[in-house]
Amino acid sequence: MTATIALVDDDRNILTSVSIALQTEGFLTRVYSDGEVALKALVDNPPDLAVLDIKMPRMDGLELLRRLRERSAVPVIFLTSKDDELDEALGLAMGADDYIAKPFSQRLLIARIRAILRRAEGALPGGNGEDEAPQQPIERGRLTMDPARHRVTWAGAPVTLTVTEFMILETLAQRPGIVKTRNQLMDAAYQDDIYVDDRTIDSHIKRVRRKFREADPEFDAIETLYGAGYRFTDE
């Protein structure tokens, strides 16, 4: 099935050039130059992935992402100004799956899009391929993860995770008590030799903890081992 990519940017030149590049690669595209219009469209008719610009009038990309995450877990890549670490950190904390700094290579953007879509496909029903054994649910204490359906619960309460958050938590939960370094978590969540830094993984972990604490304020199953990495404990 052909994937649909939503592009949200107030720069018409970027919308046109990126849309053409994606269509050349076989994607369907929808373009929006207004954040409020885009939000309604993304919720009412979700694409397979959205690319959001941070700097937009009326509703900027961060506000759009915040409101979108209240209602949808659609994968998101956001575009930020070069060296603007605050925007990057805020976007990841709000639940973006990835970010790219402007000016950016269209080839890089397409590679990131393909990588996230592959991860999303593997996390959804039928995403493993007909010849592969279905992924079995993971049960660790009060945590249950169903990779085949991309469902997570904590003590029976549903927890909505993005594709990247799901991959990171799954890597930790597969081997409780074993410390996973940031590099190992990067390798699990970001494939195809895509570079991300430590701050990206840390931001995703903070977001995952925040979501679980909404279900259980006492949640402390993801431990930080300073200088080493993270581990999941099911005690």
The alpha carbon of residue 65 and the mean position of all alpha carbons in its chain are separated, in whole angstroms, by 11
pLDDT above 90 for 145: yes
Give the list of residues 6+ apart from residue 70 with CB closer than 8 angstroms, or none.
none
44: alpha, beta or left? (left if phi > 0; alpha if psi -120 to 50): alpha
pLDDT in the model for residue 86: 58
Nearest in space to 5 (alpha carbons), one of 90, 124, 120, 85: 120
What is d(CA 224, CA 172) in angstroms, rounded to the nearest whole number?
A: 12
- Mean pLDDT value of segment 53-78: 88
DSSP 197: -
DSSP-based three-state secondary structure for 146: strand
pLDDT tens digits, one per residue of 100-113: 877 778 888 888 89
- The whole-chain average pLDDT of the chain stands at 83
Cβ-based burial of 14 (10 A; exposed 0-12, middle 13-18, buried ≥19): buried
Instruction: Output the CA angle 62-63-69, nearest 5 degrees.
Output: 90
Lowest-confidence range among 89-98, 124-133, 190-199, 222-231? 124-133
Q: What percent of the chain has pLDDT over 90?
A: 42
Q: Residue 138 is inside which H or E element, if any?
A: strand 138-140
pLDDT score recorded for residue 126: 43
Average pLDDT estimate for 4-9: 95
Distance CA 169, CA 77 (A): 20
d(CA 228, CA 182): 8
